[in-house]
Chains A and B, each alone.
Chain A
Amino acid sequence: MTPKKEKDTEEKTESKYKKRVDGRKFDELRPVEAKIGVIPEADGSAMYKSGNTIALAAVFGPRTLHPQHMQNPKTGILRVNYDMMTFSVSERKKPGPNRRSQEISKVIEWALAPCIDLSEFPNSVVDVFIEIPQADAGTRVAGINAASMALAHAGIPMKEIASAIAVGKLDKSLVVDLSKEEEDYAEGEGATDIPVCYLSRSKKISLIQLDGKISSEELKQALELGKKACEEIYKIQVKALKEIKE
């Protein structure tokens, strides 16, 4: 970069990221598929596919919580378990939970907790299991979208639906629903990944994380973009839930 360019204000320099690799518009989701009841043994289940990312979610409960010392006599609790299958990524992942999957399980739990009301089920637990058979970025948000549908399918009392999306900043351009290739974008300011989860009724944000660099102004725009995308996802979730045949 020449010294002259460095003096330019941010607004003046144009983003190097002008066109998405897969031809999508900046605010366009990857092709979505949503299906309910994919795991008959579970009390509720769903599959959410976004482009090449697939998430399966199964819900069990409310059921008695073990170990007993974790029981809450005032309300039931939500417990989320997220993991990726060994063959979901290019280089085989070691089986079983790791630090990453445990952290993601916890943030998904926090993202879903405000949606449900377990006060009628003291001492019990609602277990949510999320598995990723095929990963191409955005696995935690796909997991949330699947889990949210599975909770509704299980008949858990719900106040609202959680819908989530990863918003990204590639150099200076804001885009939604990053693919792995986009996540690895390294030119200009590089890639910033912002998974967000919106609640359908209260419009509150129940999950937000960020990896990268962004200005507060851009972040506000990113949230707005995320909100629009989540409204679209919410419609897809509701449509899938209405199609249940049982």
Chain B
Amino acid sequence: MNIPNLQKQRIVEYLKQGKRFDGRKPEEYRKIEIRTGISNKAEGSASVKFGETEVYAGVKLDVMTPYPDSQDAGVFITSAELNPMASAEFESGPPRIEAIELGRIIDRGIRESGFIDFKKLCIKEGEKVWSVALDIYAINDAGNLMDVANLASLIALANTKMLKYNEKEEKVEHGELTKESLPLNKEAMSFNITVHKIRNVFVLDPTSEEQEISDSRISFAVCSNKNKIRISSIQKGKEGALTAEEIGKILNLVEDKWKEMSPQILKYVWDKE
């Protein structure tokens, strides 16, 4: 994306005064909109919008033989596609580094937090385990896909119903949902917060333009732990390096933001219509 110098300067000038083009404060999010069940063929699915940025996430289950190093645990596979439908910047073809990184960050945030109870996804040790495939599609990219994709994934997983498993024939009945939910540890659910540093200002939920001109970004997957936060994944991106002091400041910002947003986010994930 090519941002004219004049526009860059303006964005920075505005931020120095604590303002943004769309009227938000630097740490303010856009309006969040949630839709669940966007595909009735998925075992769980959701669309999440932050402003105009929209992401679809869907979960499909299957049964497979476990990996040799974890004979008694289910398998989790995440893949993300930056669909050329979502932005003139994206091209057709195999996933590029941006899509690969996005998928991997979402994957780590969910896997490492312990959100999914993998032990409960074992059907027969060493022989049959459930596999959980989470697929993420960018529908419209107006900035901050990472955080939008994370929330869409959490909601899709929270809405996932198990498929019927035929014990006799040892096979899964595709298309036949049970009432049982995917085994999840509610408390471990980790929300992704990405902070962008534009010159000396920390910005949350960036637009495409802000994201493009930022010097560095750092993402945290966080959940509540007593009165503090627990971090289950971090990714620093872009060329700008950060001082330890800056990371400290960012952590405080993330902690405050999670405290402010968590009641609403938890509602989005767990309240079923």
Interface residues of A (CB under 8 A from B): 39-42, 52, 54, 56, 58, 60, 63, 81, 85-92, 95-96, 127, 129, 131, 133-135
Contacts and interface: CB of A to CB of B under 8 A. Distances in A.
A204 B40 CA distance: 35
Nearest to B37: A134
A88 B41 contact: yes
A88 B137 CA distance: 12
Contact of B142 (A40, A56, A86, A90): A40
Given A41-B86, A58-B85, A92-B133, 17 more contacts: A39-B54, A39-B85, A39-B86, A39-B139, A41-B142, A42-B140, A56-B139, A85-B56, A87-B135, A88-B42, A90-B41, A90-B175, A92-B60, A92-B135, A96-B94, A131-B85, A133-B56
Contacts of B52: 40-41
A58 B45 CA distance: 21
A131 B88 contact: no
A39 B139 CA distance: 7
A56 B56 CA distance: 12
B38 interface: yes
A156 B86 CA distance: 19
Contacts of A85: 39, 56, 58, 135, 137
Contacts of A63: 88
Contact of B60 (A39, A86, A134): A86
Nearest to A66: B91
B84 interface: yes
Contacts of B83: 129, 131
A40 B45 CA distance: 22
A204 B122 CA distance: 57
Nearest to A97: B92
B65 interface: no
A134 B41 contact: yes
The 10 A-B residue pairs with the shortest CB-CB distance in the complex, in nearest-first order: A87-B58, A87-B42, A92-B60, A129-B85, A90-B175, A58-B85, A134-B39, A86-B135, A90-B174, A39-B140
Contact of B92 (A41, A81, A131, A135): A81
B174 to A, nearest CB: 4
A95 B133 CA distance: 11
Contacts of B140: 39-42
Interface centre among B38, B41, B54, B175 (most CB of A within 10 A): B41
A154 B146 CA distance: 28
Nearest to B42: A87
B86 A86 contact: no
Contacts of A81: 84, 92
A142 to B, nearest CB: 14
B117 to A, nearest CB: 21
Given A86-B60, A87-B60, A95 B81 contact: yes
30 contacts: A39-B86, A40-B52, A41-B86, A41-B141, A42-B140, A54-B39, A56-B85, A58-B86, A85-B56, A85-B58, A85-B135, A86-B60, A86-B133, A86-B135, A87-B39, A87-B41, A87-B43, A87-B45, A87-B58, A87-B60, A87-B135, A88-B39, A91-B62, A92-B62, A92-B135, A95-B135, A96-B94, A129-B85, A133-B38, A134-B39
Contact of B41 (A40, A60, A96, A135): A135
Interface string B45-66: 1000000101010111010000
